[in-house]
Structure 1
Amino acid sequence: MTSVPIPIPSRTQFVLEGIKHRILTGQLTPGQALVETELAAQFGVSKTPVREALKTLAGTGLVVMNQYKGVTVRMVDADMAREVYDVRLLLEPEALRRTVRRQASLDAARDALTRADDASDTAERSLSNREFHRALYVSCGNPLLGRMLDEVRDQAALVSAVAWAADPSWEREASEHREILRLAQDGDADGAARALHAHIESFVRRAFPATQEEVGQE
């Protein structure tokens, strides 16, 4: 059987999604070098789509391009976590509040929570966690607000992946997710927003103690 070649316009997207998945599931770790020739061989493409994919990932903040050191997976530290989670604290609870007030469907959030509970490995849980949080804000009624949160979504997932590798806290976070969803489904917009704010804030404080006095204080 001959393999079906990937259409040229799709090659960059194919490589982009593949590299992103490896980063967000911990297969590629912060600081790890990303070599174009090696990635091209792994994905069965030329270096051109790899180069374009890496440029896009640099734009989203998942990788860093350096003239001398080449391309590496972005390092995660307290300052980086603080920047990303400051944005989430400012925007995500308000987006959820609006989602609830619009009585938008939260079926996608419920389904993502179920997948996280049933997940067999860390990678699957991580991806389900991202889907859960996006489902809370995607129907907020303000496309710009949703896009702004989408822009930090991958960076937040990278922070989470690093934190979970050091100190898995799935059960606690799953419990908090269930409470957030319960409040949202009950129509308690303010209560759901407060619970989400506390959830985001407590995670980054546990994972990066250096941010304890800083996150959410600006």
Structure 2
Amino acid sequence: MMTFAPTPIPSRTQYVLEAIKHGILTGGLSPGQSLVETELAAQFGVSKTPVREALKTLAGTGLVVMSQYKGATVRMVDADMAREVYDVRLLLEPEALRRSITRNASLEDARTALVRADEAADQAERSLANREFHRALYLPCGNPLLARMLDDVRDQAALVSTVAWAADPSWQREADEHRTILELALAGDADAAARALHEHIDSFVQRAFPEQTEEDQA
């Protein structure tokens, strides 16, 4: 039986994709900002083709919105979008961590990511390190499909964090919570670690995007 390998992304497209993604996830490119193909092509010294392909890929991950009339823009973040993304994380991530712990998986990558976050020179580096911390907790869960599902929302979750931190730089509180989660995980207490992770994720989105009361909405 003939099988087909996935088509690799051309190197120029990958370069442009990673550069745009980094700009979005570190706040260099703001939500709602237009992403003009000709300008990006000139900036990166490439033709419009790799830029166009990179933007299509980023639209597939939820970081970019493609419109027939407005072209490509960085995705806007609002309370509904944030809660949708974090609801997926609440459903899946604590269970993935529980499974990682019960499998006695190594969590050294999570410890390394914590150190990187503590030593980060700026918010951009800290945000990227925090993403790696969470991924290191769920990646060794033993279920590749579960890990991929969480990978699919991690960029959008990072975009939410970037926007929330711009309004309220609560990264130190999250760093303390990360240490608690890792301590529980390394101690082998799967249930307590999963509960701490659930509370960590839930409390962040509630602080950053609090529910409006009917009176507030009036």
Which TM bucket (shorter chain)?
over 0.9
Distance across 2 between alignment mates of 1:104 and 1:45: 43
What's the C-alpha RMSD, in Å, of the aligned pairs?
Answer: 1.1
Distance across 1 between alignment mates of 2:78 and 2:189: 35
Write the mapping of 1:3-152 to structure 2, written as runs, cut at 5 A. Answer: 9-152=10-153
Consecutive unaligned residues of structure 2, counting only runs of 5 or more, are 1-8, 214-218
- The structural deviation recorded for 1:211 is 7.1
Distance across 2 between alignment mates of 1:131 and 1:183: 18
Aligned to 2:171: 170
Aligned partner letter, 2:164: A
Identity of aligned residues (%): 81
- The structural deviation recorded for 1:29 is 0.4
Gap change, CA 1:48 and 1:211, over 3 Å in 2: farther
- TM-score, normalised on structure 2? 0.93
Q: How many residues align?
A: 205
Q: Which aligned runs of 4 or more in structure 1 are off by greater than 2 angstroms?
A: none
Consecutive unaligned residues of structure 1, counting only runs of 5 or more, are 1-7, 213-218
Aligned partner letter, 2:16: V
- TM-score, normalised on structure 1? 0.93
Distance across 2 between alignment mates of 1:134 and 1:102: 16
**What is the CA deviation profile of residues 47-91 of structure 1, one whole-angstrom value per residue up to 9, with x for unaligned ones?**
000000000000000000000011100000000001000000000
